[in-house]
Amino acid sequence: MNRYIPIAILYAGVLGVLLALAGCGFTSTGDAFESTARGAAAKAYDAGLENAEQFVCNDTSVGSVKRRYLKTPGEAAIYNSFCSQSGLLNATSTQED
C-alpha cells in the first residue's frame, strides 16, 4: 500500500501542472477559461464599484459626508461631481465635528 503513495503524489503533481498550464492560457482550453474568468471578474468588479458609489452617494450619514467632504470647497465640489447631482453639499455649511 505504501508503494502507491509516491505514484499518487506524482500523478497529483502532473495533474497540477496540467491544470496550471490550462489556466495560464498555454492551451486553447486555457484561453477560453481565461477569457471566461476575466469576463466574470470584470462583472464582479463593476458590481463592487457600483455598490461603493451607492454607499458613498446615498447610504452614508449626513454627518459623515460633512466631516469627510466639507473640509475645503474643493472636496465638496469633488463629492458633488462624483455623485452626479448638483449642489448636494454647500462648502459654506456648518461642519459637524
Q: What is the mean pLDDT of residues 10-34?
A: 70
80 and 38 in a single domain? The answer is no
Q: What is the mean pLDDT of residues 61-77?
A: 87
DSSP letter at 34?
H
d(CA 79, CA 74) in angstroms, rounded, equals 9
Is pTM, for the whole model, over 0.85? no
Q: What is the DSSP string of the chain?
A: -TTHHHHHHHHHHHHHHHHHHHHHTSSHHHHHHHHHHHHHHHHHHHHHHHHHHHIIIIIS-HHHHHHHH-SSHHHHHHHHHHTT-TTS--TTSPPP-
Domain range for 39:
1-59
Looking at residue 10, what is its pLDDT?
A: 77
Looking at residue 44, what is its pLDDT?
A: 92
pLDDT band at 86 (very low <50, low <70, confident <90, very high): very low
Determine whether 10 is exposed, middle or buried from the number of CB atoms within 10 Å of its CB (0-12, 13-18, 19+).
exposed
Whether the predicted pLDDT of 33 surpasses 60: yes
Say how many domains are in the chain.
2
70 and 38 in a single domain? The answer is no
91 and 65 in a single domain? The answer is yes
Retrieve residue 57's grid coordinates. Answer: 452617494
Whether the predicted pLDDT of 1 surpasses 70: no
Whether the predicted pLDDT of 48 surpasses 60: yes
Higher-confidence residue of 20 and 35: namely 35
89 and 75 in a single domain? The answer is yes
